[in-house]
Structures are given as C-alpha cells and as structure tokens.
C-alpha cells in the first residue's frame, strides 16, 4: 500500500510538472510573439527612415553625375540654355526614379532642380586637338589666377601629334595655404611619364599608357581614364585657386578646366564659347552648385529636403 501511494504521489508530481511546463511554454510563446510584433512595428518605421536617408544620398550622387554630363555635353550653350536643359533632364530622372520606387515599394518620389537658386561657374575648354596655349598662341600662360576655385581639370593628349620628348608643366596653387602641386608630363612613344611634385612631400612618378594614341588624364584626381596610373593630382590641394601652364614644344590635345566663377583673368585669356574655332580656348557656363529638392511620401513617412549639391567638389 505504501508503494502504491508513493507511485501515485510521483505521478501527480509528474503531471503537475508537465502542466507547469506547458503553461510556462505557452506564456513564453505569447511574450515572444508580443515582443516580435513590437519589434517588427519599430523596424518598419526605422526601415522607412533608413530608406529616405539612402534616397537622399542616391539623389545627390545621381544629380551630381547627371549635371557633370550636362555641363560637358555642349560647347556653345548659354547659361539660360544650360539651366533649361538641367531642369528638363532632372525632371526625366525624377520620373524614372519614381517608377523604380513604385515597383519596389509604396513610396512616391519627386525630384526637382531650381535654376534660380543654383550657381554657375566657368568651363575653360578646347574641344579639338591643338597646342595648349592661350588665344595669342602663348605656351606659357595662366588660365586661372587666384580668384576662382578649380574643381575639374581633364586633359586628353594626342600622342600621334605630339613629338616624343616634348613636355608640359602644370602648376596648381592654393592661394590660402601657399601650397602647390607641379605636374610635369613628358611624351614618349607609348604614353606619358608623369612626375607629380607636391610642395609638402616627395615626388611621385608614374607612367600613363596610350589607347589608340590618346592619353586621357584626370589631373584633378590624379589618375588615367584609360590606364591604372595614379599620382597626386591638383585636388590634393583641397582648394586650388591658380593654374599655370608652360608647354615645352607643341603639346597637342584637348582639355577642360572648371572653376566656380568667371574672373577677369579667365576672360582675358579666353573668349566666350560660341560659333568660333573649337581649337581655340573659350569659356562656357557650367553649373557649379545645384539646388535640388527631393520629396518622398510613403505609408509610414513623409520626407522633404533641399540640398545645395556642389557638382565637382563633393561638398555639402
């Protein structure tokens, strides 16, 4: 009898333990469900905010790339014509972005460009192969002299028209810090030897190879477009304000320099671009800072921001 009572008590304890475990398990499921529901609710709002942050960055990046292409797309546009083209093309970009967002989410997006509050600079350029000189044919000249900030300098050298051994020296200066970078370019049979000499450091040399006798260089960033060459470019000055050019022989090519404003020095060495000779240097308008407004509306967030996008210097 005693053994039966003991077994009965043991069975009751076992059943009670099972019931208690079931209750605890059920409560833990309920608690986890509540926590998960709350967490997913917070994540939904957080994800929407995160998406708008990414959207603002993507719009700024895309607008910068689009405006660079528009600035360099036509030699003979006036500032008014360039502004109209920019407004139209940003509108086209906005429609494409809105369609993309509509397919991937419930967010509605609109991007606009405001030309009235945007600012223009100058693009000093030569669009046909010729010696790199000023209007008077002087090979030693100063395209930009201290009054404007430089944000772009591309050079496309025609290797088949430039004699081996000929060179060109380009000096960029920062008028505030007094620092400078000298780029010595020397042509040979297969490309260009580049010696970059920052005033604050050691000389860096590299070779930039030709592609079909053309050598395309980004002198601002310090790299070759068609090669993997790299060197300290004039952008290492942070704010280059002066560009001096001295060619040793007839160094043939095309180039474009973009500054944040027009100055008397620029106008003295270049005529306004128009139906002139493409081999002569001229100054065309370029959008330097663009006012871009982005509006986004979704189920859990409404977002609007206006950014002053600096087209060439990645500043905000």
Q: Could you report the per-residue pLDDT of 267-308, keeping only the tens digit for each?
A: 777 888 988 788 889 999 999 999 999 999 877 778 899 999
Among 104, 126, 120, 161, CA closest to 283: 126
Look up residue 38 and give its two tokens.
């709350």
Q: Write down the pLDDT at residue 245.
A: 95
pLDDT greater than 60 at residue 15: no
- Residue 83: its pLDDT value, please? 96
CB atoms within 10 A of CB 242: 21
CA 250 vs CA 133, 135, 154, 157, 167: distances in Å: 9, 15, 18, 11, 8
Q: Which residues contact 84 (CB under 8 A, 6 or more apart)?
A: 115
* Residue 82, token pair as written in the block: 């360039």
Asked if 138 contacts 250 with a C-beta cutoff of 8 angstroms, the reply is: no
Give residue 134's pLDDT. 85
pLDDT for 258 beyond 70: yes
**pLDDT tens digits for range 57-104:** 889 999 999 999 999 999 999 999 999 999 999 999 999 999 988 887
Share of the chain above pLDDT 90, in %: 60
- Note the pTM of the prediction, 2 decimals: 0.81
Q: Which long-range contacts (C-beta less than 8 Å, at least 24 apart) are formed by 199-208?
A: 201/232, 204/231, 204/232, 205/231, 206/230, 206/231
217 vs 225 pLDDT, higher one: 217
What's the whole-number average pLDDT of the chain?
Answer: 84
Q: What is the pLDDT of residues 23-57, one digit of tens each?
A: 444 445 444 444 444 444 444 445 555 566 678 88
Give Rg (Cα) of the chain.
31
Instruction: Tell whether the model's pLDDT for residue 108 goes beyond 80.
Output: yes
- Please report, for the chain, how many H helices and E strands are present, in that order: 3, 14
User: Of 173, 172, 177, 205, which is closest to residue 191 (Cα–Cα)?
Assistant: 205
Question: Mapping DSSP to helix (H, G, I), strand (E, B) and coil, where does residue 164 land?
Answer: coil
How many CB atoms sit inside 10 A of residue 235's CB? Answer: 22
> Look-up: residue for tokens 């060495």?
269
List, for residues 212-222, the tens digit of each pLDDT value: 999 999 999 99
Whole-Å CA distances, 59 to 67, 97, 115, 137, 151: 12, 9, 17, 43, 21
d(CA 272, CA 288): 17
DSSP 295: E
């Amino acid at each position: 009898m005693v053994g039966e009572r003991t077994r009965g008590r043991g069975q009751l304890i076992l059943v009670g333990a099972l019931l208690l475990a079931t209750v605890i398990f059920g409560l833990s499921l309920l608690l986890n469900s509540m926590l998960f529901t709350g967490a997913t609710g917070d994540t939904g709002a957080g994800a929407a905010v995160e998406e708008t942050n990414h959207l603002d960055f993507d719009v700024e990046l895309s607008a910068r790339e689009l405006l660079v292409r528009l600035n360099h797309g036509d030699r003979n546009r006036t500032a008014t014509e360039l502004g109209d083209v920019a407004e139209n093309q940003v509108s086209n970009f906005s429609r494409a972005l809105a369609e993309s967002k509509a397919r991937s989410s419930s967010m509605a997006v609109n991007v606009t460009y405001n030309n009235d509050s945007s600012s223009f600079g100058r693009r000093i350029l030569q669009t046909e192969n010729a010696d790199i000189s000023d209007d008077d044919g002087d090979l030693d000249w100063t395209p930009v002299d201290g009054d404007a900030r430089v944000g772009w300098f591309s050079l496309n050298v025609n290797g088949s028209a430039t004699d081996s051994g000929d060179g060109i020296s380009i000096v960029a200066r920062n008028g505030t810090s007094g620092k400078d970078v000298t780029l010595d370019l020397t042509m040979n049979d297969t490309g260009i030897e580049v010696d970059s000499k920052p005033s604050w450091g050691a000389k860096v040399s590299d070779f930039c190879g030709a592609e079909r006798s053309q050598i395309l260089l980004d002198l601002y960033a310090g790299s070759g477009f068609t090669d993997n060459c790299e060197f300290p470019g004039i952008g290492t000055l942070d704010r280059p304000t002066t560009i001096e050019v001295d060619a040793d022989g007839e160094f043939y090519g095309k180039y474009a320099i973009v500054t944040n404003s027009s100055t008397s020095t620029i106008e003295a060495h270049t005529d306004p671009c128009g139906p002139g000779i493409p081999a002569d240097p001229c100054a065309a308008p370029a959008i330097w800072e663009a006012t871009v407004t982005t509006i986004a509306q979704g189920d859990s967030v409404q977002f609007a921001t206006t950014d002053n996008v600096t087209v060439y210097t990645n500043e905000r």
